[in-house]
Amino acid sequence: MDADPHVHMLDLFREFVDKDGTLRKNLYTPDNIHLSPTGYAVYASRLGPLLEAVLGVETTTQKIEK
């Protein structure tokens, strides 16, 4: 079966866990479920180039204040 050209995968596993597979605590809130502002910044830095490629428009990421 051919891949659907409208479906894109963004694998963020390596960015959000340490080498031993544990969560990078600074990227999550204390509940270890939701992303922290730093975690969202990492996510946005990876999502931006994909959106630019798919949509053909330039994206900007704003620096998140702590």
Is the residue at 38 inside a domain?
no
Is the residue at 2 inside a domain?
no
Q: Please indicate, yes or no, whether the overall pTM of this predicted structure exceeds 0.75.
A: no
The total of structural domains in the chain comes to: 1
Is the residue at 50 inside a domain?
no
Closest CA to 50 of 10, 1, 20, 6: 10
Q: Give the torsion through C-alpha atoms of 55, 47, 62, 52, to 10 deg.
A: -20
Is the residue at 24 inside a domain?
yes
Amino acid at 19: K
Is the residue at 23 inside a domain?
yes
Is the residue at 43 inside a domain?
no
Is the residue at 28 inside a domain?
yes
Show the domain range for 13. 9-33
Taking only the tens place, the pLDDT of each residue in 19-54 is 999 999 999 999 999 999 999 999 999 998 888 888
Is the residue at 45 inside a domain?
no
